[in-house]
Copies of this chain bind each other. A is one copy, B any other.
């Protein structure tokens, strides 16, 4: 690989210039800002790198960008990326303007520098290095670049189903994972699923003076009563049947959890928390965080919440709840369990409104051959065992790709970001040398993928 690495070093400035070019185009999906222009730019850049690129319209959302290039082996890799970025607020906390990429202290600052525009120079330069140095690409590669990942990808599943023949692949790598402390690479083998709902209750049509509380029903009592039944005294979610589909962790998954560096204490300090739930520590903490489904109150709202007092009996009340799901739970089943549970406890008056997309959990097995190849490649390149997560504790709309494209889907090294990249925050940045390192790692991984039977 030395010649490939040397090529990448030689062209490091080209990669950085490309990243600046991509970051200069704003593309905030939450604000519908610059998305068409950004899709065109991504397609143009792909073509400049010798990849056939197309803009694929979606039904109501910004377009996907699709790219493909044929390689030597019979296998095909699908790269998932997104060209949209998070909003930039609070703007006055940026040291330099978010859409004016700025090099400073060996870093490149810009919105999207890490999440997720940084993956494109890495992946395109790795492909080019392999083709230029070796005369061929180790395997065929496709790109699908989403335009509203930061808004929950509401139109992505339908688009994947529509274009599934084009997207067909043997393995899918989602966004490139960044480096942890001590330059530890990471692999994340899946995501939790999600069901997000709003529960609401209403009695009167208008708020009443609280003097009427003796005779007028207060829906807030109904809502807190209903919510209190969801959370069992044993710290588990109290929906009947909720845990039934939960697949026990395999021996390999347990071994992965055993091997993880524990982040509990760092998180505890960052949150200013006295203790975790049930005083969880060590393996038990990790098993719960990565392996257990959750039910969480994201928001509660009723009546008057300003300073001082107002004596009001609210007409309406709402709660926002998210469930994080693990294999083989499905959002549809949990939604049905929630309705049945509320009804069984006498809360037929509590309305349930699902919000946004529902996502099934995804967890690619540890012994998947593509995963094993990626683990070995990361070890070889970084000289240390990668940190593996059996799945993220978070969620992304990966289920449709597993349904329609490939069951081998994970997040692997390398993106150009690191644990301090401040994604979603002001002063998002990458460390400039990480861009070339990620490109080398990516080229090596493509080479190893190309050697697979």
Chain A interface (Cβ < 8 Å from any Cβ of B): 152, 192, 194, 196, 203-206, 208-218, 220-221, 223-225, 227-228, 231, 264, 267, 270-274, 276-277, 280, 285, 288-289, 292-305, 308-315, 317-318, 320, 322, 324, 355-356, 392-395
Residue of B nearest to A194 (CB): B311
Known: A216-B277, A289-B214. A204 touches B297 (CB 8 A): no
- The docked-state distance in angstroms from the alpha carbon of A171 to that of B292 is 68
Among B152, B296, B313, the residue within 8 A (CB) of A313 is B296
Q: Name which of A196, A267, A277, A288 has the most chain B CB atoms within 10 A of its CB.
A: A277
A296 to chain B, nearest CB (A): 4
Known: A208-B271, A276-B215. A298 touches B303 (CB 8 A): yes
Residue of B nearest to A326 (CB): B214
Among B227, B272, B303, the residue within 8 A (CB) of A320 is B303
Find out whether the CB atom of B289 lies under 8 angstroms from the CB atom of A313: no
28 residue pairs A–B, Cβ–Cβ below 8 Å: A194-B311, A203-B274, A204-B273, A205-B271, A206-B272, A208-B271, A210-B294, A210-B322, A211-B394, A212-B289, A213-B295, A213-B296, A213-B322, A214-B289, A214-B393, A216-B271, A218-B296, A218-B297, A223-B300, A298-B304, A298-B311, A300-B301, A300-B303, A301-B305, A308-B355, A309-B320, A309-B356, A310-B320
- The docked-state distance in angstroms from the alpha carbon of A277 to that of B313 is 13
Q: How many copies of this chain does the complex contain?
A: 2
Find out whether the CB atom of A393 lies under 8 angstroms from the CB atom of B211: yes
Find out whether the CB atom of B309 lies under 8 angstroms from the CB atom of A152: yes
A386 to chain B, nearest CB (A): 20
- Which residues of the partner chain B approach A280 to less than 8 Å between Cβ atoms? 215
- Which residues of the partner chain B approach A192 to less than 8 Å between Cβ atoms? 211
Find out whether the CB atom of B298 lies under 8 angstroms from the CB atom of A300: no
- Which residues of the partner chain B approach A318 to less than 8 Å between Cβ atoms? 305
A316 to chain B, nearest CB (A): 11
Apart from A203-B273, A224-B227, A299-B314, 12 more pairs, CB < 8 Å:
A152-B309, A205-B271, A210-B294, A211-B395, A214-B324, A215-B289, A216-B273, A221-B297, A225-B231, A299-B302, A300-B302, A311-B395
- The docked-state distance in angstroms from the alpha carbon of A317 to that of B224 is 13
- Which residues of the partner chain B approach A298 to less than 8 Å between Cβ atoms? 210, 303-304, 309-314
A351 to chain B, nearest CB (A): 15
- Which residues of the partner chain B approach A274 to less than 8 Å between Cβ atoms? 203
Residue of B nearest to A151 (CB): B308
- The docked-state distance in angstroms from the alpha carbon of A376 to that of B357 is 69
- Which residues of the partner chain B approach A152 to less than 8 Å between Cβ atoms? 309
- Which residues of the partner chain B approach A212 to less than 8 Å between Cβ atoms? 267, 271, 289, 393
- Which residues of the partner chain B approach A317 to less than 8 Å between Cβ atoms? 300
Known: A228-B228, A231-B225. A213 touches B305 (CB 8 A): no
- The docked-state distance in angstroms from the alpha carbon of A220 to that of B231 is 11
Among B217, B273, B276, B355, the residue within 8 A (CB) of A309 is B355
Find out whether the CB atom of A215 lies under 8 angstroms from the CB atom of B285: yes
Find out whether the CB atom of B206 lies under 8 angstroms from the CB atom of A271: yes
- Which residues of the partner chain B approach A208 to less than 8 Å between Cβ atoms? 271
